[in-house]
Structure 1
């Protein structure tokens, strides 16, 4: 099988037609069963690609067998594309499962969790269930992870969690800062880099770093840019000994063969990432520019979500938009005037702007 590197994938993406020539009709999302605009869970408005849907349908016929063959094939293809060993890739029923297992494996009552705030809440929730201490560190002025403050937060930390791009802000933490965290984290600590949204950004992945670091775990998912949130398919990437520590909590935790076949078809479609990244960027940047033009501050997102300072209690705004069929969210306690908005399709973002203008801007 021919190896496809990340560099070649990026080159293919760069060679795609310019945004003005994107075929929005081809990229139209599946017809929804509701009139609501769902911009609240960072899902893809496009769903699985056509090739992935066809593969998933074929996968139904394999449901009578354990899907190990498909699981190994998925790990092998991803490893080839990333230039790492197949033994450094583990398949899970969504990256959330791998993340929870990582918290259970790397933290304890004496080895805590350090993470940013606002950020994805699952690590904190998992650590609390594990009776592990949690130190949450505010994002810096650029809304990136404050790595020096995180390193100083707990000298006995068992796990540093870094979501890049960050959820909910969509902001990036520079690669040099991630390297600083890896090189200076407490002895025995594991750095977990959650790259659920990395394919929306121009920043490089740190997946290849696992070849040289036994204290780095990287998470990837098919839920976001590949549109397979309901299929529950994710990957954990690290050295085998590190992956074995996760397997104790969920060994052979693989989804159905149909999900795995959908994942394989998604990886094989080398044009898909570039096309969806471009669609997302245009819809996101158009809406952010519109909001800024009306005096609202937004985070500098490189993802499929961003946050808006609505200049009043954000929970009230979320409720007002929901009453008119536009669902957004959530609101973080330490950012009470900010709300997160998922980037939907071109039509969905137009509807968001229409309702926002009527219910928020004009009511200020």
Structure 2
């Protein structure tokens, strides 16, 4: 089950960075949804390597091949199998890492847990595994579109460069206008310059991705152990390099008093509405119909092209200088992954909610 996501809508992923392919099986997907394969492919293009100077130089088309569950462009309700073939592996780049543990990477923990690891590109711990998530998320987006749900993510921080206004004050239609995927064009240029400078030094940099879910139905989430924000947090923290999650005002609300933090209800022409949305669209673990918004913090990529002290598998101290093609910053490519995980979570909880009421 560690390779399966979801309750009713489920995604089971398989594959390694330098194996033959990455793929997955989606079960519980509603029948009758028109599958726009061009849309799915475009979502993969947003995640794929080599799309700009800010990303790894690995060149992959990342073309998805659907194997089952779709007939004449429509989902059948049967399991949807898919595969994306790996075509541009440079496994020899990792030869000097075969018996050495990269600092802050999964090398040591995988070896301790399984007694074996695939050192080529990180194997299963590689971010290439997220291909299956983006395919699943793209299909979930197509299903959610039927009920008016829209999910948008963007880069909100790189290093010390931070968007300082609410998402409502930016034109989110311009997110894809720059390689950083930031809605502020001026700050986006500064972020791009920072990433390129860090890349030139052989180092890496982290930051945050923000996400907004609009049109989410009221009532998604369970009151105790299945809270919607907990499910979103679980989904986001399963992404490679993710280190933190906050929704609504998050840690910023700790400085406020209840009288400043509370979202006050009022009657708007017979409809119950809220003056503010500091709760981030979720109250008591259940969606309230307002925009759901959250941030995900990503650490700097662990593999850097600089010498670092470490040890080998026998515990002998040594020096490692990594080779290969690596992202200096995960944020631009993490944006579609965050959207994908959010879409799968919302669709799963929407389907789950339909089982709790007549």
Name the TM-score, length of structure 1 as normaliser: 0.24
Richer in strand (by share): 2
